[in-house]
């Protein structure tokens, strides 16, 4: 039997053997079965959910019941895993909004922590064991000393050391995918933005850059990475910036400069793809691939989450088509929320978009947000959907894979030669 995991006031986690484990999908509570869970993967962690009482099914009553005074517990998964259920809890009066993490259901079987998740990408390069290495401080200091006036390197140094950002650290390790932030502004106001939140909301985990770099600053970072890194990828569009295409002339000029000197490596842009002119210019300047963020494939729900300024999902689709017509590899960076992603109308709309725009990869992301904050905006279903249990995240992924046998499904951007 899967038992409810709870936390006491000291932070110790233990099981409540009187309650069978429960999980949440959308706004529904369901019993968590052994077939729904896997052992906690390496690199996963537990988080207390303050002001939230755990919920389980009474072993004798068979009814949903709270488990106070303990607090509910959630798992935060390492990259490469997609959550399939949310934690179940009752929010108590005065409960604070949760920080921006991807909360997954957790239970205990015997002495083993179990999480509601599936492995969706086997690539090892994002395993936490490869990061925060003993050499990091020296590697950062070496590059900062080499380019003391370069504001991008100074920003990446902060991201690598303070935020422990993997794409920032890769710049200093000179390997794999390295990020280059360029834009202090954005043309959307996404619910789960990790670089800018209203002051009354949960704090953003990263501070947004406050400058636009020069082409020479970008080249000083990107050129040696493209030329010398293993499986080199340079990515514009990072967590510590706004929408990169708000500074598309700078990105296009940088792409041209880089491709004048090297044809090695992959130039990637993580973007909302809102500006067709910007995407076209960046593609023509030498970018290799786009990763387009998407919270929903339905226009009204897309607008609810992204809260765009001056663009719509139709513009995003036009940008994807423009990139594909120029030979770029295009991935969707789909923000997965169990109970929304796997609703039939959403799966159908996503399949239609993939087919219409000739998308080549679906990258799955556990959306980092308080589940209740998301639900208040996004889970306003039609009446006939309210009581229906969604198909399930794993089942939705399998359906999409069946519909598109040539579609890559995973979690990570790959170097162009591997695509």
pLDDT of residue 196: 53
Residues listed for the chain = 419
Token pair 């992959």: residue: 266
- Full residue range of the structural domain in which residue 367 is found: 128-418
Q: Total domain count for the chain?
A: 2
Residues 59, 135: one domain? Answer: no
Helix-, strand-, coil-residue percentages of the chain, each rounded to 5: 35, 25, 40
Residues 28 and 114 in one domain: yes
Q: What does the buried/exposed string (b/e) look like for 377-393 if buried means 16 or more CB atoms within 10 Å of the residue's CB?
A: ebbebeeeeeeeebbbb
User: If you write DSSP's letter for every residue of 240-268 in order, what string do you get?
Assistant: TSS-GGGGHHHHHHHHHHHHHH---SEEE
367 touches 335 (CB < 8 A): yes
Same domain, 273 and 407: yes
Residue 381 has a pLDDT of 66
Residue with tokens 């994002």: 126
By CB atoms closer than 10 A (0-12, 13-18, 19+), residue 89 is: buried
Whether residues 42 and 150 share a domain: the answer is no
pLDDT score recorded for residue 16? 87
What radius of gyration, in Å, describes the C-alpha atoms of the chain?
Answer: 22
Asked if residue 97 and residue 137 are part of one domain, the reply reads no
Mind listing the pLDDT tens digit for each residue in 195-243? Answer: 554 434 434 455 778 999 999 999 999 999 999 999 999 999 987 899 9
- To which residue do tokens 């959907």 refer? 385
Q: What is the pTM of this model?
A: 0.93
Q: How far apart are CA 6 and CA 8, in angstroms?
A: 7
Domain co-membership, 346 together with 228? yes
Tell me: do 157 and 294 sit in the same domain.
Answer: yes
Q: How far apart are CA 331 and CA 167, in angstroms?
A: 18
Cβ atoms of 78 and 88 within 8 Å: the answer is no
Question: How many whole angstroms separate alpha carbon 155 and alpha carbon 151?
Answer: 6
140 and 52, same structural domain?
no
Residues 79-91 have pLDDT tens digits of: 999 999 999 999 9
| 254, 177: one domain | yes
Domain boundary among 78, 94, 119: 119
Report the relative pairing of strands 13-25 and 28-31 from DSSP bridges. antiparallel
Residues 52 and 191 in one domain: no
Compute the distance between CA of residue 41 and CA of residue 38 in angstroms, rounded to an integer. 8
Q: Are residues 44 and 133 located together in one domain of the fold?
A: no
- CA distance readout (Å), 129 to 139, 233, 365: 17, 20, 20
**Domain end residue (candidates: 94, 119, 144):** 119
Please tell me the distance from the alpha carbon of residue 177 to that of residue 226, in angstroms, as a whole number. Answer: 10
In a 10 Å sphere around its CB, with 0-12 CB exposed, 13-18 middle and 19+ buried, how is residue 405 labelled? Answer: exposed
Phi, psi of 39 (to 5 degrees): -60, 145
373 token code pair: 């904050």
Mean pLDDT of each 10-residue bin along the chain, 419 residues long: 89 88 95 97 94 90 81 95 97 92 96 96 92 97 97 96 94 97 94 59 62 97 96 92 96 97 96 98 98 97 96 98 98 97 96 98 97 93 63 96 98 79
Q: Spell out the residues 6+ positions from residue 17 whose beta carbon is closer than 8 angstroms to its own.
A: 3, 59
Domain of residue 149, CATH code: 3.20.20.70
Domain end point (choices 119, 138, 154):
119
User: 136 and 106, same structural domain?
Assistant: no
Among 241, 246, 252, residue whose Cα is nearest residue 215: 252
């Amino acid at each position: 039997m899967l038992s409810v995991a709870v936390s006491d006031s000291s932070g110790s986690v233990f099981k409540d053997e009187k309650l069978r484990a429960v999980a949440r999908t959308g706004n529904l509570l369901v019993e968590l079965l052994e077939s729904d869970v896997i052992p906690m993967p390496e690199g996963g962690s537990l988080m207390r959910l303050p002001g939230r009482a755990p919920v389980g099914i009474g072993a004798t009553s068979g009814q949903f019941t709270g488990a106070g005074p303990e607090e509910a517990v959630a798992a935060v998964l390492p990259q490469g895993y997609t959550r399939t259920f949310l934690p179940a809890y009752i929010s108590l009066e005065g409960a604070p909004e949760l920080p921006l993490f991807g909360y997954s259901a957790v239970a205990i079987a015997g002495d083993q922590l179990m999480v509601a998740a599936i492995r969706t990408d086997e690539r090892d390069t994002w395993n936490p064991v490869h990061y925060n290495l003993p050499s990091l401080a020296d590697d950062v200091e070496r590059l900062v000393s080499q380019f003391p006036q370069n504001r991008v390197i100074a920003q990446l140094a902060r991201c690598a050391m303070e935020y422990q950002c993997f794409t920032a650290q890769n710049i200093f390790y000179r390997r794999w995918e390295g990020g280059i932030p360029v834009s202090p502004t954005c043309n959307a106001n996404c619910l789960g933005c990790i670089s800018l939140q209203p002051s009354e909301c949960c704090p953003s985990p990263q501070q947004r850059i406050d400058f636009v770099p020069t082409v020479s600053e970008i080249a000083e970072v990107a050129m040696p990475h493209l030329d010398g890194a293993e499986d080199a990828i340079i990515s514009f569009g990072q967590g510590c910036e706004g929408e990169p295409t708000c500074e598309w002339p700078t990105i296009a000029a940088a792409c041209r400069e880089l491709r004048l000197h090297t044809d090695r490596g992959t130039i990637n842009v993580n973007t909302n793809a809102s500006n067709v002119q910007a995407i076209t210019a960046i593609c023509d300047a030498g970018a290799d691939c786009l990763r387009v963020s998407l919270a929903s494939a339905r226009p009204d729900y897309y607008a609810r989450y992204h809260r765009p300024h001056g663009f719509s999902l139709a513009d995003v689709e036009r940008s994807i088509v423009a990139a594909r017509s120029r030979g770029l590899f295009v991935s969707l960076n789909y923000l997965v929320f169990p109970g929304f992603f796997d609703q039939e109308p959403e799966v159908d709309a996503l399949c239609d978009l993939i087919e219409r725009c000739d998308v080549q990869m679906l990258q799955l992301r556990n959306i980092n947000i308080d589940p209740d904050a998301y639900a208040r905006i996004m889970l306003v279903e039609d009446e006939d959907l309210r009581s229906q249990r969604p198909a399930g995240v794993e089942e939705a992924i399998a359906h999409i894979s069946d519909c598109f046998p040539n579609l890559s499904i995973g979690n990570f951007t790959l170097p162009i030669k591997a695509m």
